[in-house]
Amino acid sequence: MEDLKRIILEHPFFAGIDDEHMDLVAGCARNMRFRDGEFLFREGEEANTFYCLRTGEVALEIHSPHQGAIQIARRRAGDVVGWSWIVAPYRWYCDARAIGEVRALGFDAVCLRNKWETDKVFGFEMYRRFVPLMLASLQATRMQMLDVYGRR
């Protein structure tokens, strides 16, 4: 468990987390590895894990009936993949596919949600960390829309 805590603390997403909350997070974490082309999750599936990338890249993709998979974003080492687990109905809105080998910390969302139901300070801490990621994602989508639809 100490090695897992050390690995978690090395990830920028958890910088400055206190010891008590680290114990809660570590209890829901595991090391994971994905091969090139393997999916971390698929659109429509239950969102029950989020990932802190340690190495490699992940493509976020949506499916178009006419074009197939369309890459909408990329996440790299140091990034977090997935926030749909926070908001009901807890379903993924896109696919996440490994580009090359990916090593990540996987966090059990049900485990975390149960813990923040009993520890509201922990819940607030997790929301405080995720809301900026959600905002950045929405802003990036806005910029993509301007690029596609803003031309006249």
Q: Tell me: the pLDDT tens digits for 40-93?
A: 999 999 999 999 999 999 999 988 888 888 888 899 999 999 989 998 999 999
Residues whose CB falls within 8 Å of the CB of residue 8, separated by 6 or more in sequence, listed in order: 14, 22, 25, 26, 29, 52, 105
- Domains present along the chain, CATH in parentheses: 2-149 (2.60.120.10)
Q: Tell me: the pLDDT tens digits for 114-137?
A: 998 999 999 999 989 888 888 877
